Structure 1
Amino acid sequence: MLNELNQRNKIVYFVTSLDYGGTQKNLYYIVKELKNYKWDIIVISLKKGGRYRDKIISLGIKVYDLGLPENFSFLSLFFLIYSFTKFIFLCVKHQIKIVHSFLFQANFLARFVKIFLPKTKVFCSERVAEKQKLWQLKLLRFTKFLVDKIFVNSTELKEFVLNTQKIHNDKVVIVPNIVEPNEINIKFSDSEIRDELGISKKDFFVLSVGRLHKQKGFDLLIEIVKNFNEKVKSLSCERKYVFVIIGDGKEYFNLLNYAKKLNVKEYIKFLGYKENVYDYINACDLFLLTSYWEGSPNVVLESIVLKKPIISTKVEGVSEILDINFVISLQQTREKIVEEFVNKIFEVYSSEENFDYKKCLSEKFCIENYLSKNVVKKYLLNYVDNII
């Protein structure tokens, strides 16, 4: 059935940006797998360039960008009108039957395809439980009638979308994130990465990865480092340790100054963006996620593939992956959150042997559910059901 309509099905994947991120990585995996079904695929990005643009083109897939500026200004409104007009033109030109969008700006604009091409099916992927830009939620709620299906990547995110957009339950479908073990390649060894960081094999290496954005909770991480440092010193522990953050963003100087203020700068390394993030995950002793909200974090899945222990805040998606004992609730005082993180990190730190990552996993977790071949089948079934 999935191949029945492939010769006459043309699909556009519409995304705000093709720069690095979990959304873009999932889009890359989706189009790569969908090519096996011989669907006619086009990718359209609102913004120019992006690290995933060339990767998608290398698959033999046509990529258009609509020229929207990276930073919003008054002139951006004119660019937005031009970009949307060009988007509609491309959909008409290629006789698109399905538009599947990702990220807020693309999700919002994609809905208006219904006005110009009422027979085109519109699918939107909501990736995170946005809890800061509430005006976005209002716009999505106001335009919900233009969407055929909304894809979400976790049970908690589905509840969030149902509550904020007031949309019918049947219109929101859970399709998990993709992790592809064959794509996780290690270029530099554990010892090479540790040499780069100036730490020995015995030193305790804690890693966090993400954009330097308030959503990712790196201010919380800095407070955790402060209290962890105090605990280690109070117990006269000799094992050295370092906390490493990979990612760039507008919060860099704020976070650096906060680390200085709490006198923990020497224990934290900000590495900026790294192309070979898997090498660092492979070299670490513990992966830490301190986000305030998510959808279902890709990097947790990637850390599992690389057999690393994980401790996380209880954000959307992680309870389906991690054991409850390694998930820290945010529904308590800041002091208690930090204390629970410190105690759990110390448990891994003080382990005489390598900590078994399997202790961190939920009993219901199954890696097969997250492989591209299985995830893309779920998308396809929804595409086909809505076309027929």
Structure 2
Amino acid sequence: MRSKKKILIRIGSLRHGGAEKVLVTFLKNLPQDKYEIDLLLNLYSGKYLADVPSWINVLHLNKGEMITTNRPKDIPKKAFRKVYQGMLKKYPHLLYQFILKNKKYDIEFAAIHGFRDEILNSPIRSSKKIMWIHNDLRKTEFHDYTDNEVRKFFGYDKVMVISEHIQKDFESMARNEDEKSKIVRIYNPLDTHEILSKAEIPIQKYQFNKKVPTFISIGTIFPQKGFDRLLKVHKKLLDEGLLHHLLIVGDGYDFENIKNLKTKLDVDHTATMLGFSDNPYPYIKEADFYVLSSRYEGFPTVLFEAMTLKKKIIATDVSGVSEMLQKGKLGLIVDNSEEGLYLGMKKALSQPEEFNHYTDLLKVYEMPFDLENSVSQISSILDSI
């Protein structure tokens, strides 16, 4: 009998983010008999921990929730984590000796781009190395990713990217065909059947007002997602007499700032911040419009979820959106700005009939983002590398 491939996967935590959700969905659909997997978390925390299959060995550097504030009582723990994790990054042989018990892996897998150097600096020289990139590294949030920094990713045996835009960027950096062949585009594995079945579960936390349209937006609450400009547009439209509600579902380190902005704009009665939900699908189903307000993305998987539920979509023109919405055939793509969001949402409120053709096309559209296909593609890389 052929021995199982030994795989190390690294990610920061299993908090409520898109990359984390995609990783866990992938792990849940892997055959247990083919692989022996160690999942190493920097921080043992997150909503998706409970979803990791029991046969996967979960290891960690630290335990506890992420610390996003600088409250005096939190500083010692925060400092300890930073020093401890920094030491293990600088001296990887200590990590492999004491945490990983000198285990020899066939494959080492960085589940997000932030672990590029940790895997490249592994003392196991014989292992094959795989990178999974979920973001457009050319955006301002990732300003350190110069051409030279992006070139370092070619130290991997395979670089999996999630959109055509990112694929083309990496291919343009390749110096030869061998390097070009390292780049492979694989759509994120998402479970359509799970989305549709969970959407039927009755809503507990929010009462929809069917007399006015509701816009919903879902994501981790931090600046990338643009919830600040979404609230400002919401306020502007209300001031113009265009009544509607805004529902934001998600949590994150910027939650209190966005909540305070909501109060400052005096829209607490029309905008609701629901916090994290492990099942946002009934809310998407009940809402009239899905709005993506992101400043940048890699491939916004939440749009796939909205498309699965046949929603009328307004999305900023960030990486992956044009590809997903077929250059505007399946939803309204707006300029990546506050003004773009304003014009798109105003059109939805003043000319709602203009969005009916998107819904009609989505009803007959065959999704290319197939769970089985994506898992099969990634598995074939694990098997052949």
TM-score, normalised on structure 1? Answer: 0.81
| Counterpart among 235, 243, 249 of residue 226 in structure 1 | 235
Q: CA deviation at 1:87?
A: 4.5
Deviations 1:338-367 (A, max 9, x none): 34312432267x449x9465357599x742
Q: CA deviation at 1:57?
A: 3.9
Deviations 1:265-319 (A, max 9, x none): 3321111112221221122111110101111111111122222222111111121
Q: CA deviation at 1:329?
A: 4.2
Aligned residues: 364
Q: CA deviation at 1:377?
A: 1.6
Identical amino acids, percent of aligned pairs: 24
- The aligned counterpart of 1:237 is none
- The aligned counterpart of 1:79 is 85
2:96 is the counterpart of 1:88: yes
Q: CA deviation at 1:219?
A: 1.8
- The aligned counterpart of 1:169 is 180
After superposition, the Cα gap between the structure-2 partners of 1:126 and 1:177, relative to the gap in structure 1 and judged at 3 Å, is: same
2:160 is the counterpart of 1:151: yes
After superposition, the Cα gap between the structure-2 partners of 1:346 and 1:297, relative to the gap in structure 1 and judged at 3 Å, is: same
| Counterpart among 52, 60, 67 of residue 62 in structure 2 | 67
- The aligned counterpart of 1:24 is 20
Q: Are 1:141 and 1:165, in contact at CA under 8 Å, matched by a contact in 2? A: no
| Counterpart among 252, 262, 273 of residue 255 in structure 2 | 252
- The aligned counterpart of 2:75 is none
Q: How does 1:123-142 map to 2 (within 5 A)?
A: 123-130=130-137, 131=139, 132-135=141-144, 140-141=149-150
Q: CA deviation at 1:53?
A: 1.9
Question: Which residue identity does 2:31 align to in structure 1?
Answer: K
- The CA RMSD measured in Å over matched residues stands at 3.3
- The aligned counterpart of 2:126 is 119
TM-score, normalised on structure 2? Answer: 0.82
Name the CA distance, whole Å, in 1 between partners of 2:249 and 2:142.
Answer: 25
Q: Are 1:129 and 1:295, in contact at CA under 8 Å, matched by a contact in 2? A: yes
Q: Are 2:116 and 2:153, in contact at CA under 8 Å, matched by a contact in 1? A: no
Q: Are 2:129 and 2:156, in contact at CA under 8 Å, matched by a contact in 1? A: yes
Q: Are 2:334 and 2:344, in contact at CA under 8 Å, matched by a contact in 1? A: no
Q: Are 2:189 and 2:372, in contact at CA under 8 Å, matched by a contact in 1? A: no
- The aligned counterpart of 1:236 is none
Deviations 1:231-288 (A, max 9, x none): 444xxxxxx5310001122323332343344443332111111222122112211111
- The aligned counterpart of 2:74 is none
Q: Which runs of 5+ in 1 are unaligned?
A: 234-239
2:5 is the counterpart of 1:9: yes
Question: Which residue identity does 1:118 align to in structure 2?
Answer: R
Q: Which runs of 5+ in 2 are unaligned?
A: 68-77
Name the CA distance, whole Å, in 1 between partners of 2:44 and 2:174.
Answer: 30
- The aligned counterpart of 2:281 is 278
Name the CA distance, whole Å, in 2 between partners of 1:68 and 1:197.
Answer: 33
From the two aligned structures, give the one with the greater helix fraction: 1
